[in-house]
Amino acid sequence: MNKFFIDIWESLKIALQALRTNKLRSFLTTLGIIIGITTVIGILSIIRGLNDSFYTSISALGSDNLYIQKFAWFSRDDWLEARNRKNITMKEVDAIQKQATLVKAVAPVVGARRTVKYKSEQLKNVSITGSTEYYMVTGNVVPEYGRPLSEQDVEHRRAVCVIGWEVADKLFKKVSPLGRRIKLGSFKFRVVGVLEKRGSLFGNNLDSEVIIPFGVFQKLYGSRRWMTIEVKVKDQERIEEAKDELVGILRRVRKVAPGEDNDFAINQQDMIADMYKRLTTALYAVAFGVGSIALLVGGIGVMNILLVSITERTREIGIRKAIGAKNKNILWQFLIESIVISSLGGLLGIVFGLLIAKLISSASFLSASVSWPIIFIGIVFIAIVGLFFGIYPAYKAAKLNPIDALHYE
Amino acid sequence: MIIEIDDISKVYEVGTQEVHALRGVSMKVEDNEYLAIMGPSGSGKSTLMNVLGCLDTPSSGSYRFVNELVSEMNDDQLAEIRNREIGFVFQTFNLLPRATALHNVELPMIYNGTPSTKRKSLAKEALEKVGLSDRMDHRPSELSGGQRQRVAIARSLVNNPKIILADEPTGNLDTKTGEEIMEIFEELHDQGNTIILVTHEEYIAEHTNRIVRLRDGRIERDEATD
């Protein structure tokens, strides 16, 4: 074995022996580092978990979809101004349907939340969507069995509905829902289709939905509700062109004078992704900030305890030097002690961090996901912290005069 | 010739004052000598011992150790000489309190890269030599003073040094135990080792073949005993 490795190995054994002798003290010393690493690993795992579920659920929106609304998402526009804009109505929908060339489907969408009943079963807070047959295209909603809303359903304002997977599951435990009537308030709707399972979007359960014809919704819940026009474009590559076309149509229909700002907004999935990125960047920054401060404090703690330890073991250092330890042997001994203390703290921190992430993901809708590269980087980083904060005390120990050290009481 | 010092001085600065611990000391030590350095406290015998033991370098003068010029060496070279060529025995034993007797004896070999298995067998051998083969796994706190000093002697022997430097080796021991330790030194001397004792007690110095007496940093007398 190489002499250098013998040195390191012996230093490691000495360090572990020293830690065993002062178990409580070593643990308290590493606490700062434990807390720092726990926080960082916890936050990072949760961000990664969020990423996974975010990108899965955002895909439900469809990257070839546009959402025409009174408000722009995440905009800093004057809210009051936006509130006073003209409502979006069927007039716009009709105009787009007639004039737009780059559009595959257009659907007006209105929504409310209500309790849905079937016999003695009931499900609260179900999202009731009023729309047309085109919603099946724009919303990517596909019946698992039964049929979608049809043109006739919409045109004749039939009391029929297509229900989400969870509504079917909760209300109809034993029987097939097709042909049964569910109650919305005092109105009854015949179930014609059941959607396939879709999961959730930002904690919003997409499977707890009842889709009814647009006209029926307006009759039931009023026609002055804010409406979203969902548009699916023909070619995703030409989505910007499609937007321009829509802007032109909408300005004409809504009689926006040239030079005036649009009194509507065309939203799309990208905007959510952008917003999300900004949010997670902020979270990363928080994790980094908290982690750095805790590691700094922890590192100073390690340095402090090393200085104490060196003072306590001055005589030992003297003995070792007298019988032939070189300065670098003593330097390594304390550097390795520092790295070992830090790394132990780091490892405990990683374990706690993963546990906390696991705990959070099992107790809330947030999910956590472990990133091994991050953990690896973390361990290297902790070792560097140990090295950095160990250098000064170790150097001090290495430079001790053997005679003075031997006579230290 | 093992040791040859020529006109060695050592000056310490204590605050603004200069303390002359050694003022031109010259002496030679031949192979297999057994000698004592004596003198009252403040005579400079500790300083001389530190210089001879390569724990300290002289302010002026030259020190040759088996023809190597120690007085010009740096810290690492001195550490190497201490490790290979010098075995220390101290008044206060200076063992590592948390290590077993065996590990204490292994210690000098850790710093010259001796592999672990060889280290263990050599350390056991050295402990057997001082009669402690049944105490190897004991820590210093579990050993008597005499036993601790034997561990220290085993440690000093284990690298087969050119000289053994013993600083008041019986100072912390009762008379009877002290005599036992002196017997070990005598045996080691008979086996061909070179031993330098530092002591202020005549009856201990009487065991040796030569006594160097220091006073005020100078050699007062250097004579063979009968």
Judgement on whether residues A100 and A220 belong to the same structural domain of the protein: yes
Q: Quote the mean pLDDT of chain A.
A: 87
Q: How far is the alpha carbon of B113 from chain A, nearest alpha carbon, in Å?
A: 5
Instruction: Mark yes or no for CB contact A326/B80 under 8 Å.
Output: yes
Q: How far is the alpha carbon of B226 from chain A, nearest alpha carbon, in Å?
A: 33
Residue B116: pLDDT over 90: no
Final residue belonging to a domain, choices A241, A263, A285: A263
What is the domain extent for residue B120? 3-224
Q: How far is the alpha carbon of A395 from chain B, nearest alpha carbon, in Å?
A: 14
At A290, the pLDDT band (50, 70, 90 cuts) reads: confident
Residue A29: pLDDT over 70: yes
Residue A77 lies in a domain: no
Q: State how far the Cα of A15 lies from the Cα of A332, in Å rounded to an integer.
A: 10
Judgement on whether residues A125 and A251 belong to the same structural domain of the protein: yes
pLDDT value for B124: 95
Final residue belonging to a domain, choices A263, A298, A328: A263
Arithmetic mean of pLDDT, B208-218: 94
Lowest mean pLDDT segment, chosen from A346-360, A362-376, B155-169, B199-213 = A362-376
At B189, the pLDDT band (50, 70, 90 cuts) reads: very high
Residue A66 lies in a domain: no
> What residues of chain B lie within 8 A of the CB of A319, using their CB?
94-96, 107
Query: Which residues, in sequence order, are CB contacts of A238 under 8 Å at separation 6+?
Result: A102
At A202, the pLDDT band (50, 70, 90 cuts) reads: low
Note the ipTM here.
0.94
Residue A33 lies in a domain: yes
Q: State how far the Cα of A36 lies from the Cα of A174, in Å rounded to an integer.
A: 52
> What residues of chain B lie within 8 A of the CB of A20, using their CB?
none
Judgement on whether residues A21 and A94 belong to the same structural domain of the protein: no
| Residue % of chain A over a pLDDT of 90 | 41
Q: Which token pair is A20?
A: 């065993």
> What residues of chain A lie within 8 A of the CB of B88, using their CB?
322-323
Q: State how far the Cα of A96 lies from the Cα of A85, in Å rounded to an integer.
A: 19
- Could you tell me the CA-to-CA distances from B62 to A253, B10, B22, B74 in Å, in that order? 106, 11, 13, 14
Tens digits of residue pLDDT in A164-175? 999 999 999 888
Chain A residue with the nearest C-alpha to that of B49: A403
Judgement on whether residues A180 and A287 belong to the same structural domain of the protein: no
Q: Determine which helix (DSSP H) or strand (DSSP E) holds A254, and give its type and residue range.
A: none
Judgement on whether residues A281 and A378 belong to the same structural domain of the protein: yes
Residue B132: which CATH number? Answer: 3.40.50.300
Q: Quote the mean pLDDT of chain B.
A: 93
Asked if A322 is an interface residue toward chain B (Cβ–Cβ < 8 A), one would say: yes
Judgement on whether residues A246 and A164 belong to the same structural domain of the protein: yes
Q: Determine which helix (DSSP H) or strand (DSSP E) holds A124, and give its type and residue range.
A: strand A121-131
Judgement on whether residues A107 and A152 belong to the same structural domain of the protein: yes
Judgement on whether residues A53 and A161 belong to the same structural domain of the protein: no
Facing B76 at nearest CB: one of A6, A322, A327: A327
| Residue % of chain A over a pLDDT of 70 | 97
Residue A225 lies in a domain: yes
How large is the greatest C-alpha to C-alpha distance in chain B, in angstroms? 53
Residue A81 lies in a domain: no
Number of structural domains found in chain B: 1
> Number of helices and strands (H, E) in chain B?
7, 10
Tens digits of residue pLDDT in A210-221? 999 999 999 998
Q: What type of residue sits at position B35?
A: L
Asked if B107 is an interface residue toward chain A (Cβ–Cβ < 8 A), one would say: yes
Residue A78 lies in a domain: no
Among A151, A159, A156, smallest CA distance to A135 is for: A151
Judgement on whether residues A120 and A46 belong to the same structural domain of the protein: no
Arithmetic mean of pLDDT, A146-166: 93
What is the domain extent for residue A138? 86-263
Q: How many CB pairs under 8 A join A and B?
A: 61
Tens digits of residue pLDDT in B7-25? 999 998 888 899 999 999 9
At B91, the pLDDT band (50, 70, 90 cuts) reads: very high
At A77, the pLDDT band (50, 70, 90 cuts) reads: low
- Could you tell me the CA-to-CA distances from A392 to A319, A331, A386 in Å, in that order? 21, 10, 11
Judgement on whether residues A298 and A397 belong to the same structural domain of the protein: yes
Chain A residue with the nearest C-alpha to that of B84: A324
pLDDT value for A1: 53
Tens digits of residue pLDDT in B159-171? 999 999 999 999 9
At A37, the pLDDT band (50, 70, 90 cuts) reads: confident
Asked if B111 is an interface residue toward chain A (Cβ–Cβ < 8 A), one would say: yes
Judgement on whether residues A176 and A42 belong to the same structural domain of the protein: no
Residue A153: pLDDT over 80: yes
pLDDT value for A60: 67
Asked if B13 is an interface residue toward chain A (Cβ–Cβ < 8 A), one would say: no
> What residues of chain B lie within 8 A of the CB of A336, using their CB?
none
Residue A201 lies in a domain: yes
Residue A10: pLDDT over 90: no
Facing B82 at nearest CB: one of A3, A322, A327: A322
Tens digits of residue pLDDT in A223-255? 777 899 999 999 888 989 999 999 999 999 999
Instruction: Mark yes or no for CB contact A323/B98 under 8 Å.
Output: no
At A108, the pLDDT band (50, 70, 90 cuts) reads: very high
pLDDT value for A6: 75
Instruction: Mark yes or no for CB contact A403/B56 under 8 Å.
Output: yes
Show contacts of B27-30: CB within 8 Å, 24+ apart. B27/B3, B27/B212, B27/B219, B27/B222, B28/B1, B28/B3, B28/B4, B29/B1, B29/B2, B29/B3, B29/B4, B29/B163, B29/B194, B29/B196, B30/B1, B30/B2, B30/B194
Asked if B41 is an interface residue toward chain A (Cβ–Cβ < 8 A), one would say: no
Q: State how far the Cα of A246 lies from the Cα of B182, in Å rounded to an integer.
A: 107
Number of structural domains found in chain A: 2
Q: Specify the 3-state DSSP secondary structure of B91.
A: coil
Q: State how far the Cα of A158 lies from the Cα of A215, in Å rounded to an integer.
A: 9
Instruction: Mark yes or no for CB contact B113/A6 under 8 Å.
Output: yes
Judgement on whether residues A120 and A231 belong to the same structural domain of the protein: yes
> What residues of chain A lie within 8 A of the CB of B56, using their CB?
403
Residue A86: pLDDT over 90: no
User: Which residues numbered 279-298 in A keep a CB inside 8 Å of some CB on B?
Assistant: none
Asked if B58 is an interface residue toward chain A (Cβ–Cβ < 8 A), one would say: no
Burial of residue A404 (number of CB atoms within 10 Å: 0-12, 13-18, 19+): exposed
Arithmetic mean of pLDDT, A362-373: 75
